[in-house]
Amino acid sequence: MLDNDGSPPNDAPLRAGEVLVFVYGSLLSGQTHHALLGRARLVGEAHTLPEYELVDFGEFPALVPGGATRVFGEVYAVDGMTLATLDELEDHPAYYRRTPVTLEDGAEVQVYLMSAWQAAGFPRLAAGDWRRRAERV
């Protein structure tokens, strides 16, 4: 969990070169691409502000700004090599755009966002939780 000021807990300060990344889909623990976070440190579970939509693309989700859903995810402290690997997976900046956002607890993190026009026509996940994807809008 993040402290009230949005930083990692006192017993887990960010190391030089680390960045906080919020993941919400196939990178979550137990999901298909989680192994790519092997070098990362779990900071804790978190939620976005209720300003997004979680869109189901079948094999993976997309986080889209402009909705009213509070999206569940996990925050990881990642090094530069891991961040580059994630950028490649997410095809940043061509497909997803890695963008700084503020989470519900005030933490400033990086997240991979997709534009609303790219996600048009795909089902929204009402629960805002990839693991509960059977609950669609």
Residues identified as active-site: 90
Q: For the chain, how long is the longest CA-to-CA vector?
A: 44
- Two tokens at 38? 């092997």
6 Cβ neighbours under 8 A, 6+ residues apart: 102, 103, 105, 106, 107, 108
49 Cβ neighbours under 8 A, 6+ residues apart: 70, 101, 102, 103, 104
